[in-house]
């Protein structure tokens, strides 16, 4: 019976065109901006670092202009600023909360833009930037359009570093999330469409090569988060941005929803979360 209620609810929302958009995802990240570094980057920063190290390794010493797309809390720019002390940093994020956290880092020569990635890119002239970095966010808008635009605004020889989840990421959550929706159909507010994550590193690399980028390095990996406390597992799921967009479909901050999520996770004996991803560095 609950399954039919879910279908009916989704059909109604579809007819009303209540779909989660990137603006909603930006607001979702604002809600977790106070926790993002401690819950997510505290572990995942090591993978960001690999992207940044390979970017620096394959870029000139005299980098002048760096674009940090979907900059989040500004971690990437903060790290790069230690190497490129005279470079100008352009930090773009649609999340006001995330951008506020980035500003708190007081990065030298930094300019901040509260804007989505494609809107910003469309306003930029050809060959403006020496380096572009985009971590964990290229999936939130059309990645092919973003890559094409980045190729245009990079200087000849400029570099582009990206890390993003693959389609197989968060299998544990994908196992219980539909059950959560079935149990709570009336709580669904909008429909979250599947994100265009790449299937694997081969598909990922092809995205960039198809518009003229030279592939420097592409790596596929995963990070497993272990939890002995169900409360900590639920808090991680609901406070990291890992389900950004899907937490707009149903309010994961609601205590009754979190309680049901804990029940479903316990039923499946889930005590870990698997983050699967791919990263790469490319040259124009």
Rounded Cα distance between 117 and 92, Å, is 7
Q: Residue ranges of the domains in the chain?
A: 2-283
Rounded Cα distance between 140 and 25, Å, is 8
Q: What pLDDT, on the 0 to 100 scale, is given for residue 39?
A: 86
Per DSSP, the residues of 215-261 read EEEEEEEEEEEE-S-HHHHHHHHHHSSTTTTHHHHS-TTSHHHHHHH
Smallest CA-to-CA distance from 194 within 219, 169, 176 is with: 169
- List, for the chain, all residue ranges whose pLDDT scores fall below the cut of 50: none
Q: What pLDDT, on the 0 to 100 scale, is given for residue 29?
A: 94
Q: Which fold has domain 2-283?
A: Rossmann fold (3.40.50)
Smallest CA-to-CA distance from 127 within 155, 149, 148 is with: 155
Rounded Cα distance between 150 and 284, Å, is 9
Q: What is the pLDDT of residues 245-263, one digit of tens each?
A: 999 999 998 999 999 999 9
Q: What pLDDT, on the 0 to 100 scale, is given for residue 24?
A: 93
Q: What pLDDT, on the 0 to 100 scale, is given for residue 242?
A: 87
- CA distance between the termini of the chain: 55
Rounded Cα distance between 75 and 81, Å, is 10
Q: What pLDDT, on the 0 to 100 scale, is given for residue 1?
A: 65
């Amino acid at each position: 019976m609950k399954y039919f209620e879910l279908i009916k609810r989704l059909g109604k929302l579809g007819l009303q065109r209540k779909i989660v958009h990137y603006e909603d995802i930006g607001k979702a990240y604002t809600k977790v901006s106070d926790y993002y570094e401690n819950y997510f980057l505290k572990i995942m920063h090591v993978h960001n670092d690999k992207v940044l190290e390979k970017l620096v390794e394959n870029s000139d010493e005299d980098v002048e202009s760096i674009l940090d797309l979907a900059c989040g809390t500004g971690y990437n720019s903060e790290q790069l600023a230690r190497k490129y002390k005279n470079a100008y940093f352009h930090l773009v994020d649609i999340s006001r909360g995330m951008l506020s956290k980035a500003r708190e880092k007081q990065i030298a020569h930094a300019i901040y833009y509260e804007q989505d990635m494609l809107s910003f890119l469309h306003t930029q002239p050809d060959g403006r930037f020496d380096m572009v970095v985009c971590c964990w966010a290229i999936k939130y808008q059309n990645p092919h359009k973003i890559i094409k635009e980045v190729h245009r605004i990079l200087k000849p020889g400029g570099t582009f570093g990206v890390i993003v989840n693959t389609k197989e990421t968060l299998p544990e959550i994908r196992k219980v999330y539909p059950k959560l929706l079935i149990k709570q159909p009336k709580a669904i507010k909008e429909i979250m469409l599947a994100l265009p994550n790449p299937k694997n590193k081969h598909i990922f690399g092809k995205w960039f090569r198809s518009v003229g980028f030279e592939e420097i390095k592409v790596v596929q990996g995963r990070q497993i988060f272990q939890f002995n406390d169900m409360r900590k597992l639920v808090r991680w799921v609901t406070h990291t941005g890992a389900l950004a967009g899907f937490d707009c479909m149903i309010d994961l901050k609601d205590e009754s929803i979190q309680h049901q999520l804990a029940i479903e996770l316990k039923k499946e004996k889930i005590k870990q979360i698997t983050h699967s991803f791919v990263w790469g560095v490319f040259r124009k």
